[in-house]
Amino acid sequence: MTLTTAEENYLKAIYHLSNGGTKSVSTNDVAAEIKTKAASVSDMLRKLGDKEVIEYRKYYGVNITEEGKKRALQTIRKHRLWEVFLVEKLQFAWDEVHEVAEELEHIQSPLLIQRLDSYLNFPKFDPHGDPIPDEYGDVRARPRLALNEMDIDQSGQIVAVKDSSAAFLKYLDKVGAYIGARIKVLDKVEFDGSMEILVDQKKTLFMSKDVAANILAIQS
């Protein structure tokens, strides 16, 4: 049973909103995520329920099924592999890749994805630091913490951002932060939570608590 592009997009949205399938999701939430109207979502939920990728009880929101989770992860895998391709091979900036990957992820060809994966050397993370599921939908997540949770003198590496809006990504680029950057916490201001961060052992960066909370790192 195959899914249309629209169905794949709904399923992906439900997967994300449900936190990887751990909680149920309301019609309105899906509508907001997909930027469509609740009435359209109701229609689609009935269809996805029929296809058994979600469990749908009218008026009570949806839960994603195991099959649905698998499908969503396939789409996410394709999206993230294309992002790696765009950044590593075609020199896209990491704030330019999302829209194009959103189209590319719907190309139907298992062979294509297999070959792309191999061509990119089986990457485990996309340019935003998000993990790439393997072809069975397994994800090997790294423990991460937000920068504002790190203590003074701790070192690590930026691996992801929470808010990956173009605006925030642009801001990071401008101040010289990026996924993969090696960082060290030089100082934390008690009363407002703002921080002083050493980037790549040379540049010093000041950031508000809000910004720090949006940046995820692994410790080292």
Binding site for a second copy (CB under 8 A): 86, 89-92, 96, 99-100, 103-104, 107-109, 111-112, 115-116, 119
Query: Between 97 and 116, how does the x/- string for binding to DNA read (CB under 7 A)?
Result: --------------------
Tokens 């485990």 belong to: 124
- Which of 27, 75, 148, 214 is the binder for DNA (CB under 7 A)? 27
Residue 141, binding choice from a second copy, DNA, none, Cβ under 5 to 8 Å by partner class: none
Query: Between 135 and 164, how does the x/- string for binding to DNA read (CB under 7 A)?
Result: ------------------------------
Task: Say what the alpha-carbon torsion angle 161, 163, 167, 168 is, to the nearest 10 degrees.
Answer: -40
For DNA, which stretch binds (CB under 7 A), given 41-49, 82-90, 116-124, 148-156? 41-49
Nearest to 159 by CA among 123, 127, 120, 203: 127
**119 or 122: CB nearest a second copy:** 119
**1 or 111: CB nearest a second copy:** 111
Nearest to 161 by CA among 153, 173, 169: 169
Residue 45, binding choice from DNA, a second copy, none, Cβ under 5 to 8 Å by partner class: DNA
- Read off φ and ψ for residue 76, nearest 5 degrees: -65, -40
Alpha-carbon distance of 32 to 38, in angstroms, equals: 8
- Which of 16, 23, 43, 206 is the binder for DNA (CB under 7 A)? 43
Contact yes or no for 164/98 (Cβ under 8 A): yes
At position 176, the amino acid (one-letter code) is G
Contact yes or no for 95/165 (Cβ under 8 A): no
Q: Is 182 helix (H, G, I), strand (E, B) or coil?
A: strand
Interface positions with DNA (CB under 7 A): 4-7, 26-28, 34-47, 56, 58-61
